[in-house]
Amino acid sequence: MTITTIIFDLDGTLIDSVPAHKNVIRGIAAKHGIKITEDDFARFNGMSAYQGFKQVLHKHHLQFGLCRILWERTRARKDIMDNITLYPATTNRLQTLQKHYAMAVATSSSRHYLKKIMKRYSLQDYFSACMAKDDVNRSKPAPDIFLKAAKRMSKSPEQCVVIEDSLNGIIAAKRAGMAAIALLTTTKKALFKSEAAPDLFLKDLSELDKEGISKAESKAYIRRQIEEETP
């Protein structure tokens, strides 16, 4: 089945925001005596803030309140917003791809945050559906948000390709039965392995085109056939 729909992640895919989020998270963690490594970030990048911090506390065997940490992050929201930029290729790529594909955005961030970003960079008109963590019960790596985006646009999973920068996002896309393209904007290529191995790697959004999507579609088809035949 031919791919007709692109579902984009937001942070680290359309906008250069991950460094801003990292700085805030590192600052909060340091206040509580927690050191977060790059591998830690890779493991919870793409999850909701709640799920990410929950994993950090579990890893360090800490019992203090998750709500307290989330409140501190909310207070730092302005610092994050002040240090976000649009990737240089985003607008041009969306304008070009919009001529050939239906498009959606699906993020583990809040709807409030998503709306602010869409308005700031005038991105609303490119997307037929905009999904946030508020729309699903389970965040990435669960496939829920991608499946809901596809359903909102009346598309089957096989008609969709997901563009992601995180391990959890790629896992979620594959669990949804969709083709998965990883952008190497925030996570080292070596970490994308096993269940997080995408159908195609690209340096960043500037390299995304119809040819690349076609390659990912072919690899995803073969991958699904193998998965169906594996006991």
Total-model pTM? 0.90
CATH number of the domain within which 72 lies: 1.10.150
Structure tokens at 202: 């690209």
* Tens-digit pLDDT profile for residues 40-52: 888 888 887 777 7
Please check whether residues 126 and 180 belong to one and the same domain. Answer: yes
* Tens-digit pLDDT profile for residues 83-119: 999 999 999 999 999 999 999 999 999 999 999 999 9
Looking at residue 176, the DSSP 8-state letter turns out to be T
Domain ends where: 81, 106, 122? Answer: 81
Rounded CA-CA distance 211/155 in Å is 21
CATH number of the domain within which 179 lies: 3.40.50.1000
Query: Could you list the residue range(s) of the whole structural domain that residue 55 is in?
Result: 18-81
- Name which of 122, 145, 120 is nearest 135 in CA terms: 145
- Name which of 172, 145, 129, 141 is nearest 5 in CA terms: 129
Please check whether residues 188 and 91 belong to one and the same domain. Answer: yes
Please check whether residues 180 and 204 belong to one and the same domain. Answer: yes
**Would you mind telling me the total number of residues written for the chain in this entry?**
231
Please check whether residues 225 and 116 belong to one and the same domain. Answer: yes
Please check whether residues 90 and 203 belong to one and the same domain. Answer: yes
